[in-house]
Amino acid sequence: MVFSSLLFLFAFLPVTLALYYAIPNRKARNWVLFVLSLIFYGWGEPVYILVMLASITEAWGFGFLIAKYRVSAPKKARGWMAVSLFCNLAALLFFKYANFFIGNLRLIPLFTETLSPIEGLTLPIGISFYTFQIMSYTIDLYRGQTDVQRNYVAFGAYVTLFPQLIAGPIVRYRDVDDQLTERRETLPLFSSGVRRFLIGLGKKVLIGDACARVYEYAKATAGFHPTAAAAWMTVIFYTLHIYYDFSGYSDMAIGLGRMFGFRFLENFNYPYVSQSITEFWRRWHMSLGTWFKEYVYIPLGGNRVGKFKQFRNIAVVWFLTGFWHGANWNYILWGVYFGVILVAEKTFLLRAMEKTPSVLRRLYALLLIGFGWILFSFTDMAAGWQCFRSLFGIGTEAFCTPTVGYEFLRALPLLILAAVGATPLPKSVWDTLAERDWTAEGAVDAKGNEIPVPDAPLGTRGKVFGILTAVGCFGILLVSTAYLVDSTFSPFLYFIF
């Protein structure tokens, strides 16, 4: 089940909200979230509910042992933490990477006949995300940064919470531990959640899916009749597609969380306005970057060690980041690609670009981001290499064909809309005109500070814009519904991870 489906919008979500708010007791509400989140997760493949429940039960049980020995016998606590982490990582490695390892080993003559792929092995949706969340609980508990969760349902609700279960944001346990038992649902928070959800729905259905159609056309054209124009269309529209698809999902997840009283981390902060790759990765998929920083980079020594070890730490993090995204070499190369750029920026590039005009720095970042998306989107690396060469007219039939030119002109309004929408400009203009009053009923940032969200606007003009906001959100719902009725199934890109 996906957020941008008629089943979710007009059946699952209304029923869940009705049941949730019909029950005043907090523990009972956690039961509602736990059970209905399991139904949400298992709608397509119920068997993988058992895998998730096993992971939940294992981490919850070992949590008591970690808490018991954390102070009196730290080595025992560390051992139980290691066992818990091993169990969770073993499940992830088996389901996600077993056939990848087997396939690569079969390239060695010794294993060609002795090893065979595991038939029928499919990837449980969201396992990469919920595994990292469970691991955050185990590690934070060992570090003494949170208390043991004694209520199985509360812990289960944390892991399975359907708004962020499938594709994030990755929510660290300590960021929501109090909210599991003491969250406060308010009308302003709920209404801001509805707005955020509908904005995300529009980003995904109306812009992201439209960019996907142009991207698929350009990619197919570039493959059969290579031209520089088709290759650039492929890169540009995939760059926009993945942003609107993934950030749209994150907006919907954050909005849904607010509807149920939860305040999740922000996951995107206009990444395409970045002036370096270092800045880009502070703005893109922020919850994943925070996770790797806290649980891998800093434990390895972070920036507190010598230059060589810093570069080693960056290399480890970005190899793992690429590997986390998928069981294919293109994802690993994608991670290594960004790791190399980040090392170069840390060493000399950022200093060299200090006096460069901001427009050129943004162009530099966008080009490197776009080249990276070629690695990311082409699992067939030969096809990806052909696309990259075509950008510069190498091995192409022409710069552009009449058909490609026509399709580009048709897509030009979408390109302008999507490009402007990926900047802070529309929100800045709207908030200025609306004279909004900013309240603290918002999400929290990576440091736990509250990020305010707009409450009811003040003044006559503010009231008018409040009405326009409501009308606009309702319009997004209507138009998105019309598209969904008439479209084929379009899952979120990050569901495959």
Asked if 363 and 488 sit in the same domain, the reply is yes
Asked if 46 and 134 sit in the same domain, the reply is yes
- Residue 50 has a pLDDT of 94
* Reported pTM: 0.91
Enumerate residue ranges in the chain where pLDDT < 50: 437-448, 453-457
- Residue 456 has a pLDDT of 43
Asked if 269 and 393 sit in the same domain, the reply is yes
- Residue 447 has a pLDDT of 47
Has residue 13 been placed in a domain?
A: no
Has residue 152 been placed in a domain?
A: yes
Cα–Cα distances in angstroms (integers) from residue 299 to residues 71, 120, 290, 412, 447, in the given order:
20, 37, 13, 47, 18
Asked if 149 and 39 sit in the same domain, the reply is yes
Asked if 249 and 373 sit in the same domain, the reply is yes
List the one residue out of 337, 287, 286, 280 whose CA is nearest residue 314: 337
**The domain boundary residue, chosen from 129, 162, 183:** 183
Asked if 470 and 372 sit in the same domain, the reply is yes
Asked if 164 and 236 sit in the same domain, the reply is no
Has residue 302 been placed in a domain?
A: yes
**The domain boundary residue, chosen from 167, 183, 199:** 183
- Residue 457 has a pLDDT of 44
Has residue 367 been placed in a domain?
A: yes
Asked if 219 and 315 sit in the same domain, the reply is no
Has residue 8 been placed in a domain?
A: no
Dihedral sign for Cα atoms in the order 388, 423, 176, 156: negative
Has residue 17 been placed in a domain?
A: no
Asked if 103 and 232 sit in the same domain, the reply is no
Alpha-carbon gap, residue 75 to 80, rounded angstroms: 9
Alpha-carbon gap, residue 254 to 386, rounded angstroms: 38
| Residue-number span of the structural domain to which 230 is assigned | 185-275+353-497
Asked if 360 and 338 sit in the same domain, the reply is no
Domain count for the chain: 3
Q: Which residues contact 180 (CB under 8 A, 6 or more apart)?
A: 30, 149, 154, 155, 157, 158
- Residue 434 has a pLDDT of 67
Residues labelled catalytic: 325
- Residue 438 has a pLDDT of 44
pLDDT tens by residue, 121-140: 888 988 999 999 999 999 99
Has residue 230 been placed in a domain?
A: yes
**The domain boundary residue, chosen from 183, 201, 222:** 183
- Residue 431 has a pLDDT of 75
- Residue 492 has a pLDDT of 66
Asked if 179 and 328 sit in the same domain, the reply is no
- Residue 495 has a pLDDT of 61
Has residue 16 been placed in a domain?
A: no
- Residue 408 has a pLDDT of 93
Asked if 100 and 53 sit in the same domain, the reply is yes
* pLDDT more than 70, % of the chain: 92
How much is the mean pLDDT over the chain? Answer: 89
* pLDDT more than 90, % of the chain: 71
- Could you tell me if 315 and 295 are in contact, meaning their C-beta atoms sit under 8 angstroms apart? no
- Residue 371 has a pLDDT of 97
pLDDT tens by residue, 298-328: 999 988 888 889 999 999 999 999 999 999 9
